[in-house]
Structure 1
Amino acid sequence: MKSYQLIDYRQPLEPVELATPSPQGSELLLRIVASGICHTDLHLIDGGYDLGQGRWLSFKDRGLVLPRTPGHEIVGRVVAAGPDATAVAKDKNYLVYPWIGCGTCPACKASDEHLCAQPRFLGLQRDGGFSDHVLVPHPRYLLDIGDIDPKAAAPFACSGLTTFSALKKAGPAIQHSEVVVIGAGGLGLMCVHLVKLMGGKGAVVVDIDAGKRQAAIDAGAIAALDGNAADLRAQLQSAVSAGVHVVIDLVGSAATASLAVDSLSKGGKYILIGLFGGSIDIPLPTIPLRALSITGSFVGNLAELMELLDLAKSKGLPSFPTTPCSLHDANDNLRRLHDGKIIGRAVMIP
């Protein structure tokens, strides 16, 4: 099979020809139909995360072994199944849940595999979707997308799931106050659409890129503010009707975190998703005095992905912008993503 693999950190992916695996036990082999390109793929190539103050979280130090095929937003068709796999139709397109855990720890037993301390995530610990085939360990990780276009469904596995789970953490506040969304990349635009699908009041978006701000308006944002504006905090307070009660930060830099914490009203929720990196200094008494909630949100569980897919089927698919491309253009599109040149999602069609 043809794959693009990371051989060395901070180097371009390399095209390789690998033996197509034969599924064992409960495994299934899928022929990939569509595979999204995500910022997490860039973090994998970088080899970790910037923790601020000169600190670095290294994938290598945490046991991740190269080479590895990136990619975790996958739609495919089953072409072979192991002897212990339950029957799965071979004429359907399936969205793959990639956030697979060890299966035995407390998080996995609580159906929160995405929080497993010994994960087996596709595209990170296991080979993923930058290929023409992928091996999935069990049929329960396959979700029938029905008539949904595979290019539109693939981003649900990360972009959609991540923002959906964050909005659920925000709770009923999204129904009576605007959600401030920092970052109008793939996740930000998905979040704008999902706020509407979930019955929310609407989204106010902050981004430094004029093209992405326009994309947010096109997606239905109430307002899209320039993240570099000198009076950004004042603009933000004017754009919401009754104070900032929910901020979803899809960038996760020192600047965006400071903006979020400083802007929140009493009782507000700051939900941090982005992994750009860095650190901030927060006066601790202000957290209880303002009754702030600061919550990290990492992708979501299998049940939430099922719920999201059902929502899309029942209420209509978000008009999320996707750009189809070839597997052979993987490195070019990773560079474009790094440079902020992609609106929505680039989705590879092997």
Structure 2
Amino acid sequence: MRAFAVSAGSTALSELELPTPTPTPQGTEVLLRVTHSGVCHTDTHLRAGYYDLGRRGKLRLVDRGIPYPMTMGHEVVGVVEAAGPEADGVEAGRTRLVYPWIGCGECAACLDGRENACPKGRNLGVARPGGYADHILVPHPRYLLGIGDLDPSWAATLACSGLTAYAAANKVLPLPPEAPVVVIGVGGVGLTAVATLHALGHRAICAVDREEANLAVAAELGASLAVPAGSGDLAADVLAATGQPVAAVIDFVNNEQTASAAFEVIVKGGRMVQVGLFGGEVTIPTALLALKMVTIQGSFVGTLTELHEVVELAQQGRVPRIPVIDGKLSLDGVTDSLDRLAAAGVAGRIVLKGE
């Protein structure tokens, strides 16, 4: 099979010809032919090989034991081709969405159904080969979800973009519908968050982004206010737009500037949910952290149960689909898509289609 992988110490992707994996003779593995693979901004960090920790330097993925060359791609829809003898309920030819945030299966987080919080995660597209390939091997059929009549291109985005947005929204809701919630960074995931908040009944949604095109799409998906970033005083701009401190901020950028602004605009007792991986660090006055009673919470994708809930909402028509941009699952297609994301010029989600 073909796989499009990045090597350690390089940002260039290569096309590899590898043996097509097969499910183990005694096991639960399932092999799918990849038909759709979404392109996530996280992959730009994986391609670079590190996360920016500000003064602490770089968190290098090789130092975390991540194997290279890495076949990325964690938003995958595919067709079942083969399964191990213990993979109950799996039928060849069925189209399935893959839940990629797989844990060790033994720790407290995994046993509690929070595999995305596993300290020894085996995430597909990171620690295990992902969907930038002709085939993907999934360790158990419980990680496969039916999508019904959903467009498979959009369904693929639900595994990360949709799930991440839904899990982040759940961390700030319930709130009074008119309590201002700020969404910073309305690219693919941020747009999904705006749509999700609106679908769950929230009405005061302030979208923040550098790109006017993204803000326009956010308004179509339910944002009631739009704040262009880049003036140099994001906190002042947000407060001018909302007219009051805000109940919550969901930050899909999460760098020094946006996190600092989020703390400045939050109301007493409010909540900051930090999602983005753009990196850096933020300094917060400890006295104000106590006096304002602010909750700061990190959010990383979501649980398998939450993905089932997202798919159900989508099937009910309660989540408006974000713009999906078609691409080709090829070396040029993966490379060009990641380049576009790194340049912050994508209003929606690129989804690569296999042959």
Tell me by how many angstroms 1:88 deviates. Answer: 1.4
The residue that corresponds to 2:294 in the other structure is: 292
Alignment partner of 2:341 out of 329, 337, 342: 337
The residue that corresponds to 1:65 in the other structure is: 67
The residue that corresponds to 1:271 in the other structure is: 273
SS of residue in 2 equivalent to 1:259: helix
Change in 2 beyond 3 A, CA 1:33/1:174:
farther
> In structure 1, what is the Cα distance between the partners aligned to 2:123 and 2:177?
33
SS of residue in 2 equivalent to 1:15: strand
Amino acid of the residue matched to residue 2 of structure 1? R
Tell me by how many angstroms 1:54 deviates. Answer: 4.7
> In structure 2, what is the Cα distance between the partners aligned to 1:230 and 1:331?
32
Change in 2 beyond 3 A, CA 1:67/1:280:
same
Amino acid of the residue matched to residue 346 of structure 1? I
Matched, 1:81 2:97: no
> In structure 2, what is the Cα distance between the partners aligned to 1:223 and 1:193?
14
Tell me by how many angstroms 1:314 deviates. Answer: 1.8
* Superposition pairs of residues 180-219 of structure 1, within 5 angstroms: 180-219=182-221
Alignment partner of 1:223 out of 222, 225, 231: 225
Amino acid of the residue matched to residue 143 of structure 1? L
Amino acid of the residue matched to residue 346 of structure 2? I
> In structure 2, what is the Cα distance between the partners aligned to 1:10 and 1:222?
42
Alignment partner of 1:46 out of 41, 45, 48: 48
Change in 2 beyond 3 A, CA 1:7/1:311:
same
SS of residue in 2 equivalent to 1:262: helix
- The runs of 5 or more residues in structure 1 that have no matched partner are none
> In structure 2, what is the Cα distance between the partners aligned to 1:95 and 1:179?
30
Amino acid of the residue matched to residue 207 of structure 1? D
Deviation track 1:147-178 (CA, whole Å, cap 9, x = no partner) reads: 00010111111111111001111121263413
Alignment partner of 2:134 out of 122, 132, 135: 132
Amino acid of the residue matched to residue 56 of structure 1? K
Return the TM-score normalized by structure 2.
0.95
- The runs of 5 or more residues in structure 2 that have no matched partner are none
The residue that corresponds to 1:162 in the other structure is: 164
Contact 1:174 1:246 in 2 (8 A): no
> In structure 1, what is the Cα distance between the partners aligned to 2:264 and 2:191?
23
Question: % of aligned pairs identical?
Answer: 44
SS of residue in 1 equivalent to 2:286: coil
Tell me by how many angstroms 1:281 deviates. Answer: 1.0
Tell me by how many angstroms 1:30 deviates. Answer: 0.4
> In structure 2, what is the Cα distance between the partners aligned to 1:74 and 1:174?
35
Amino acid of the residue matched to residue 14 of structure 1? S
Change in 2 beyond 3 A, CA 1:292/1:317:
closer
The residue that corresponds to 2:149 in the other structure is: 147
Deviation track 1:250-305 (CA, whole Å, cap 9, x = no partner) reads: 00100000110001111110000001000111110101101111000111110011
Amino acid of the residue matched to residue 337 of structure 1? L
* Superposition pairs of residues 307-326 of structure 1, within 5 angstroms: 307-326=309-328
Change in 2 beyond 3 A, CA 1:317/1:283:
closer
